[in-house]
A and B are shown apart, each in its own frame.
Chain A
Amino acid sequence: MKRLLTYHGMSCFIVIVLSIALYLIWRSNSPYPHTLNWDIWEHQTVVNAIRNGSLALFPSMLSDTFRFDGYTTIFHLFIAGIQTLTHVKNILGFWWIAEGVFFILTSLAAYALTISVTRNRMIAVMSALLSACFFESSVAFTTFFLIPQTLAAFIWVLGMTAVTLHRAHRIRIAFLYSLMLIAVHGIVGGVGAILLLFYAFGISWSHNDTKLSTLMWICVGVIAYALPTLVTYFFPLGDINAGEAQYFTQSLTQKLALIQQWYGLLPVIFLSAGVWQITRSHNAAAKMLGMLLFILVGFIAAPFPYVLKFATYIHYLIVVIMAIGIGGLVYDSHTRMRYVLVGLTGLTAMLVFISNTTSWKNPIVYRGIASEVSVDEQQAATAITAMFKQSDVMLISDPATQYIFEALSGINSPGGAYMDRETRQLLLQALSADAEGSFLSAMAQIHDRLVVKQPKTILLVISGRTGKWLNSPTEKQLDISYNIWRPEALSLNDNVILEMWKKRYNLQEVYKNPSIVIFNLHI
């Protein structure tokens, strides 16, 4: 153990320092405790339910924000356990730190997988640096977001590393990790489990024929593309997750554009170099990684909904194989030149990182801070928690506002961001009613499908986002994939409408700040 620490200590230290530096760059305009992860709100809502004593196998049984169960509540149990043990009160702060720790662990995981395959520290450090620089900023979110699919990918890499290192028990280890993967994420983890078992069985079968390797990789890649393509041809899959999936079925051109945004043009040379190196090597583990890469590339190229979620696995394969490619290219160079070339490549990867993350964060920058939640919203959520936490109330607002408020305040909402079409229509009908009676009648019909007894008190939360949502075209208002992601303060026009509603619906204001007004309705 001591020898192991001495051998890897300095490399891991470099990886940790670089990861912390990149995390701080990522958070440069999103300081503690501001979050950048839109998905955490639905997970936090389930975590809140668990912390309040509810327990269920699937998230949809605990929150109607979930309309499709792709995974169990294992992830939420794990988070709820940590939040309870550490007495977390600052939810946003918890996620800020948790995602930072997770980011460092993903870099170390890339290092571990690479060292297990190549036994070369320089290549492993390069792989970890590439892992930290490459952020799949759409659908996959491998490194910066702590969500079930990214946790599954992290466990997968640990499993791959363990299988590579412990050849004597590899099948047993692969089965153990497969169970963990499926428990964390039924779909992404399930595919990960198949890939891990394939790797564990395939690693035993070693061959040194370069042409055979190349031919096999191309064949499996084509099959991985053709199979899901045929499935989507015969069975329409756009209805998965009640229609949202159709917005996450990108064309090949869109996928290539995303890949260029995530990795720049670096894979064009270094991934090709890596693949070439592997086909010529006698390293069975590396050959299997190459095969998995071709399978996954073929798979994500297919027109399958949410298929880019599997880019969480590709991330690790790409960084390992690219690092092998870089290692191969600089192998014959003089030591000093080798460091210069590796350093320049690292610098370029950091430029890709800055370009990718800056363009991703820019649309949500609000008052100089990149975050989906403003300080005003945090204060309003804290205020209503203090006022209504123990009361029998329901919170209603536009989808984005109620999604955030439900997680931060712990007060239930009808569907959060995934409010169903009928509820959206009822809310729009209520807010355009011409008298108090019809307004209250429409509001009374809005309900949470998991709650049997409807609460008698409703908190109507009107934010700057609500104003913008109400000004959106009707098809957008009813569209489940459309949200006002950026925080908004109340404009003069919003205040004009609020004044009108106050008079027309006889609304009782319980809280107000520049971005939020909250009314208390008794149904």
Chain B
Amino acid sequence: MIVCFILIILAGRAGFSLWQTHEQHVGYFNVSSNSYGVAIYQETRRASVQFANTHAFTIHNNEITLFPRSNTPILLTYNRDDIVIDDYSTLYTEPTQEQLTVLTQTLHTPLVKAPSSPRTIALTHARVYIVNPAIPGVLEVKIPDGLQAHINRNEKQITFNAPHSLTITVYDTLPL
């Protein structure tokens, strides 16, 4: 009889496994770990921004801090349609004219297009914003002091030259 009860207890393990894979929510976004690192995404992982080579994250209010695996810099992969802007209103991607008009109206400031070649260029300012036009919300990536970051527009990636923690701030609208 006791064996029966133990079997039943084991059958209830589903609850524990769900606790372990519990998603965390920041603003419009969800955050969870996967085998590649950490993903920040919305419902059913649509428009997921992937931070590879991260092994852990912490959340404080609307800030997510990502920690790299030892000796491997974090690699950020965004989506094909994402719009990438820095805090000096430089636009690194190619949104549609209509999207550009709405963005300019929202920001009350014109956006300056970065040259389209070379396809990999250095990000010289302190902050980069990622907007997926199909979902609400904005991700702000703070480039750590002393670190060099490059955007590869063919691969849709932002790379860093050294392993360092990254702070991602989640906003409802562009804070420019």
Residues of A at the B interface (CB closer than 8 Å) are: 264-266, 269-270, 329-330, 333, 341, 344-345, 347-355, 358-359, 362-363, 365-368, 464, 486, 488-493, 495-496, 499-500, 514-515
B16-64 with Cβ < 8 A to chain A: 16, 18-19, 22-23, 25-28, 30, 43-44
Distance in angstroms from B45 CB to nearest chain A CB is 12
Q: Do A269 and B14 contact each other (CB < 8 Å), given the known contacts A367-B27, A496-B99?
A: no
Neighbour of B136 across the interface among A269, A329, A362, A489, CB < 8 A: A489
**In the complex, chain A residues whose CB is within 8 Å of the CB of B14:** 264, 351-352, 355
Selecting from B5-13, B111-119, B120-128, B158-166, the interface stretch reads: B5-13
CA distance A471 to B5 in the complex (A): 50
**In the complex, chain B residues whose CB is within 8 Å of the CB of A350:** 15
Distance in angstroms from A192 CB to nearest chain B CB is 31
Kindly state whether residue B98 has any CB partner on chain A within 8 Å.
yes
Neighbour of A489 across the interface among B13, B99, B137, CB < 8 A: B137
Kindly state whether residue B133 has any CB partner on chain A within 8 Å.
yes
Neighbour of B8 across the interface among A269, A464, A495, CB < 8 A: A269
**In the complex, chain B residues whose CB is within 8 Å of the CB of A366:** 28
CA distance A265 to B106 in the complex (A): 54
CA distance A225 to B173 in the complex (A): 56
Kindly state whether residue B172 has any CB partner on chain A within 8 Å.
yes
Q: Do A486 and B43 contact each other (CB < 8 Å), given the known contacts A329-B1, A345-B5?
A: yes
A329, A347, A348, A359, most chain B CB atoms within 10 A = A348
**In the complex, chain A residues whose CB is within 8 Å of the CB of B13:** 351
The answer to whether A329 touches B4 (Cβ under 8 A) is yes
Neighbour of A362 across the interface among B23, B99, B173, CB < 8 A: B23
Interface size of B as a range: 35 or more
Kindly state whether residue B135 has any CB partner on chain A within 8 Å.
yes
Distance in angstroms from A269 CB to nearest chain B CB is 5
**In the complex, chain A residues whose CB is within 8 Å of the CB of B4:** 269, 329
Smallest Cβ-Cβ distance to A270: which chain B residue: B8
Q: Is the interface of A mostly helix, strand, loop or mixed?
A: helix
B82-138 with Cβ < 8 A to chain A: 83, 96, 98-99, 101-103, 105-106, 131-137
Distance in angstroms from B129 CB to nearest chain A CB is 12
CA distance A499 to B101 in the complex (A): 10
CA distance A374 to B101 in the complex (A): 28
**In the complex, chain A residues whose CB is within 8 Å of the CB of B96:** 496
Neighbour of B99 across the interface among A266, A358, A492, CB < 8 A: A492
Interface string of B154-176 (1 = CB under 8 A from A): 00000000000000000011000
**In the complex, chain A residues whose CB is within 8 Å of the CB of B19:** 354
The answer to whether A514 touches B9 (Cβ under 8 A) is no
Q: Do A354 and B18 contact each other (CB < 8 Å), given the known contacts A264-B11, A495-B102?
A: yes
**In the complex, chain B residues whose CB is within 8 Å of the CB of A488:** 136
Smallest Cβ-Cβ distance to A489: which chain B residue: B136
A349, A362, A490, most chain B CB atoms within 10 A = A362
**In the complex, chain B residues whose CB is within 8 Å of the CB of A495:** 102, 106
CA distance A344 to B12 in the complex (A): 10
**In the complex, chain A residues whose CB is within 8 Å of the CB of B173:** 514
The answer to whether A347 touches B102 (Cβ under 8 A) is no
CA distance A354 to B17 in the complex (A): 11
Smallest Cβ-Cβ distance to A341: which chain B residue: B5
The answer to whether B12 touches A264 (Cβ under 8 A) is yes
Distance in angstroms from B31 CB to nearest chain A CB is 11
**In the complex, chain A residues whose CB is within 8 Å of the CB of B11:** 264-266, 348
Distance in angstroms from A64 CB to nearest chain B CB is 30
Distance in angstroms from A374 CB to nearest chain B CB is 11
Which 7 pairs of residues, A with B, have the shortest CB-CB distance? A351-B15, A348-B12, A489-B136, A351-B12, A368-B25, A265-B11, A492-B133
The answer to whether B16 touches A491 (Cβ under 8 A) is no
CA distance A296 to B5 in the complex (A): 27
**In the complex, chain B residues whose CB is within 8 Å of the CB of A269:** 4, 7-8
Distance in angstroms from A503 CB to nearest chain B CB is 11
Q: Do A266 and B8 contact each other (CB < 8 Å), given the known contacts A354-B19, A355-B15, A514-B173?
A: yes
Distance in angstroms from B146 CB to nearest chain A CB is 33
Neighbour of B133 across the interface among A329, A330, A358, A493, CB < 8 A: A493
Distance in angstroms from B71 CB to nearest chain A CB is 34
Q: Do A367 and B25 contact each other (CB < 8 Å), given the known contacts A341-B5, A492-B133, A495-B102?
A: yes
The answer to whether B131 touches A492 (Cβ under 8 A) is yes
Distance in angstroms from B132 CB to nearest chain A CB is 8
CA distance A363 to B23 in the complex (A): 11
The answer to whether B9 touches A348 (Cβ under 8 A) is yes
CA distance A151 to B102 in the complex (A): 50
Smallest Cβ-Cβ distance to B24: which chain A residue: A368
CA distance A515 to B43 in the complex (A): 16
**In the complex, chain B residues whose CB is within 8 Å of the CB of A367:** 25, 27-28
CA distance A350 to B18 in the complex (A): 13
**In the complex, chain B residues whose CB is within 8 Å of the CB of A264:** 11-12, 14
